[in-house]
Chains A and B, each alone.
Chain A
């Protein structure tokens, strides 16, 4: 679908609102993941506000596309995006991780039926997305116009289950399946290439029978074109390896793996003291990194 300049500006603003909301929810929760959600905010925004066939007012619409979030720990960005898209009130984001909340620390369908799968334990999302794509093809044939998207992390390529799913999708030439890998190069213990090297990652996916597209995870136009290219591939599943900046939007958090599983207020103190981390992050996001004086401008 064509992305106009006006629409891109709109998406940029939306992504910033989503980042602000997710940081607010993490500050309130006092636990949770920061780097991944900030890094994936642009991709979530593009999908929920431009690409996905879905209806927030009718979440169980049978004809909808399916978006499986495999690395459930980045759910603050999923929740924030869904709230801004109209699935539930933005105010509810403040209940993240609290007793009785629909917004569990990792997504659970029993509490929030709008998510397609419960997730958190790594390496399981792609298999479920493959199952959905297989079932959809059984019902609607190889020409089905529904897409199954799977958002996954680079770190979860360490899990053997991920590769089992890649093999099965390649074998079955699932053209209705599009994976999006958050290639942010970090995981809990450090940089992916030190913990368990993944490169040459694109070659590995290709060897498993996938069409591979590499793109910046923060360029709406390039991302949109990548999705269009993936949708146009007929003979195999596609993966978009999106190069993202973990912590994107708050420069003190960017590219630092210590922010993987830490909320503002509990992070490393080399750049900002703990008690100022929330305040600084929100100020940066609200002023677009100092480009404007306030979010009202």
Chain B
């Protein structure tokens, strides 16, 4: 199979280029395996990866125009020629490795930790299974960045719009019956950009390798705000 990968080394290249490799495929091969096969042929080819099973979130890439997690993307589902590029809209450090610092900074913006004001009980804080169910579809995020880097609103305003990942995280804490900072969290999302730059384009939903739905989470935050305003 022919796999074409994006190459750019700031030390030697004036501009990026695509380079084609011929790799041997086998049954059940994932895109990550293909990228490792490329690396076997050319050790200077660089990409991030680790767990190989879709939980660490290291190997998000843009393949044939869509953001995907390489380790859980079967080669058999990809149309040839397979073209692998770094995430769009992020500064490229080298080859497929992009600078995600803005993405992480936006995550930190939403105070992504449980806030309790009451003193802690001796045992666990109780939570009903129904309340716990409200976290499903929110807590599973692996922070791979597939969603935010496929979002046009995030491309235009990565410093002002929090992006789908951070907003999904904001929703995860708003939805947690144990959290006691709802008002501060909502106040923190006020303004024309942070939350409201979402134009429900829904690229994030398409891109999420864990089948989460940030657009729905954003809608949910807006609904809470509206309810609180009335």
A binds B: no
